[in-house]
Amino acid sequence: MKTKPMNLFSKIIAVADVFHAMTSERAYRKKQSPFKVLEMIFHDDFGKFDITVVKTLLSSFANFSMGSRVRLNNGFIAEIIFIDAGSQTRPVIKVMDSGQIINLGINRELYIEEIL
Protein backbone atom coordinates (compact mmCIF):
# COMPACT_ATOMS: atom_id res chain seq x y z
CA MET A 1 0.00 0.00 0.00
CA LYS A 2 2.99 2.34 0.14
CA THR A 3 2.74 2.90 -3.62
CA LYS A 4 -0.62 4.70 -3.46
CA PRO A 5 0.62 7.99 -1.92
CA MET A 6 3.63 7.99 -4.24
CA ASN A 7 1.40 7.26 -7.21
CA LEU A 8 -0.88 10.19 -6.32
CA PHE A 9 2.15 12.40 -5.80
CA SER A 10 3.49 11.54 -9.26
CA LYS A 11 0.09 12.32 -10.82
CA ILE A 12 0.05 15.73 -9.12
CA ILE A 13 3.60 16.46 -10.29
CA ALA A 14 2.71 15.44 -13.87
CA VAL A 15 -0.18 17.92 -14.04
CA ALA A 16 1.78 20.67 -12.27
CA ASP A 17 4.78 20.19 -14.58
CA VAL A 18 2.69 20.48 -17.76
CA PHE A 19 0.75 23.47 -16.38
CA HIS A 20 3.96 25.27 -15.38
CA ALA A 21 5.72 24.52 -18.67
CA MET A 22 2.82 25.81 -20.77
CA THR A 23 2.26 28.96 -18.70
CA SER A 24 5.95 29.93 -18.65
CA GLU A 25 7.80 32.03 -21.20
CA ARG A 26 10.18 29.95 -23.33
CA ALA A 27 12.84 30.96 -25.87
CA TYR A 28 10.87 29.18 -28.61
CA ARG A 29 7.35 30.35 -27.71
CA LYS A 30 5.34 32.81 -25.65
CA LYS A 31 3.68 31.78 -22.42
CA GLN A 32 0.04 30.80 -22.65
CA SER A 33 -2.90 31.89 -20.54
CA PRO A 34 -3.51 29.68 -17.50
CA PHE A 35 -7.18 29.50 -18.51
CA LYS A 36 -6.29 28.27 -21.98
CA VAL A 37 -3.78 25.76 -20.58
CA LEU A 38 -6.29 24.40 -18.07
CA GLU A 39 -8.86 24.05 -20.84
CA MET A 40 -6.36 22.12 -22.96
CA ILE A 41 -5.36 19.86 -20.07
CA PHE A 42 -8.98 19.18 -19.18
CA HIS A 43 -10.46 18.77 -22.68
CA ASP A 44 -7.71 18.10 -25.21
CA ASP A 45 -5.61 15.89 -22.98
CA PHE A 46 -8.60 14.20 -21.32
CA GLY A 47 -7.56 10.78 -20.10
CA LYS A 48 -3.84 11.57 -20.11
CA PHE A 49 -3.93 12.92 -16.56
CA ASP A 50 -5.70 11.89 -13.37
CA ILE A 51 -9.10 13.60 -13.60
CA THR A 52 -9.32 14.16 -9.84
CA VAL A 53 -6.00 16.00 -9.85
CA VAL A 54 -7.02 18.11 -12.86
CA LYS A 55 -10.41 18.99 -11.31
CA THR A 56 -8.71 19.98 -8.05
CA LEU A 57 -6.35 22.30 -9.94
CA LEU A 58 -9.27 23.76 -11.91
CA SER A 59 -11.27 24.43 -8.76
CA SER A 60 -8.34 25.95 -6.89
CA PHE A 61 -7.41 28.16 -9.82
CA ALA A 62 -11.02 29.30 -10.24
CA ASN A 63 -11.24 30.34 -6.58
CA PHE A 64 -7.97 32.23 -6.89
CA SER A 65 -9.02 34.03 -10.10
CA MET A 66 -12.24 35.70 -8.94
CA GLY A 67 -11.92 39.47 -9.29
CA SER A 68 -8.78 39.25 -11.43
CA ARG A 69 -8.24 41.60 -14.32
CA VAL A 70 -7.58 39.89 -17.61
CA ARG A 71 -6.81 40.71 -21.24
CA LEU A 72 -9.00 39.00 -23.83
CA ASN A 73 -7.80 37.84 -27.24
CA ASN A 74 -9.52 40.90 -28.76
CA GLY A 75 -7.43 43.23 -26.55
CA PHE A 76 -10.23 44.21 -24.15
CA ILE A 77 -9.41 44.44 -20.47
CA ALA A 78 -12.00 42.80 -18.24
CA GLU A 79 -12.61 41.59 -14.70
CA ILE A 80 -13.67 38.06 -13.80
CA ILE A 81 -16.99 38.40 -11.99
CA PHE A 82 -18.31 34.82 -11.91
CA ILE A 83 -16.96 31.33 -12.48
CA ASP A 84 -19.49 28.58 -13.15
CA ALA A 85 -18.47 25.24 -11.64
CA GLY A 86 -19.38 23.57 -14.95
CA SER A 87 -17.19 25.86 -17.06
CA GLN A 88 -14.29 26.97 -14.87
CA THR A 89 -11.96 27.84 -17.74
CA ARG A 90 -14.53 30.13 -19.33
CA PRO A 91 -15.75 32.60 -16.69
CA VAL A 92 -18.21 35.45 -16.91
CA ILE A 93 -16.31 38.71 -17.31
CA LYS A 94 -17.11 42.42 -17.22
CA VAL A 95 -15.38 44.57 -19.86
CA MET A 96 -13.76 47.52 -18.10
CA ASP A 97 -14.40 50.21 -20.76
CA SER A 98 -18.01 49.43 -21.59
CA GLY A 99 -19.29 47.53 -18.57
CA GLN A 100 -20.50 44.80 -20.93
CA ILE A 101 -20.98 41.40 -19.28
CA ILE A 102 -19.74 38.48 -21.40
CA ASN A 103 -20.12 34.78 -20.63
CA LEU A 104 -17.04 33.21 -22.20
CA GLY A 105 -18.72 29.81 -21.90
CA ILE A 106 -21.26 30.95 -24.49
CA ASN A 107 -19.11 33.41 -26.44
CA ARG A 108 -16.54 30.82 -27.59
CA GLU A 109 -14.61 33.07 -30.02
CA LEU A 110 -13.32 35.10 -27.06
CA TYR A 111 -10.91 33.75 -24.48
CA ILE A 112 -8.61 35.01 -21.77
CA GLU A 113 -5.19 35.64 -23.19
CA GLU A 114 -3.47 37.02 -20.09
CA ILE A 115 -4.03 37.62 -16.41
CA LEU A 116 -2.92 41.15 -15.55
- Domain around 100: 3-115
pLDDT of residue 4: 66
What is d(CA 42, CA 79) in angstroms, rounded to the nearest whole number? 23
Pairwise CA distance, residues 7 & 99, whole Å: 47
- Name the domain count of the chain: 1
pTM for the full predicted model: 0.79
Q: State the first-to-last Cα distance of the chain, in angstroms, to the nearest integer.
A: 44
| Per-residue pLDDT, 72 | 96
The rounded average pLDDT for each run of 10 residues, N- to C-terminus, in the chain (116 residues) is 70 93 89 90 80 90 88 96 88 95 94 91
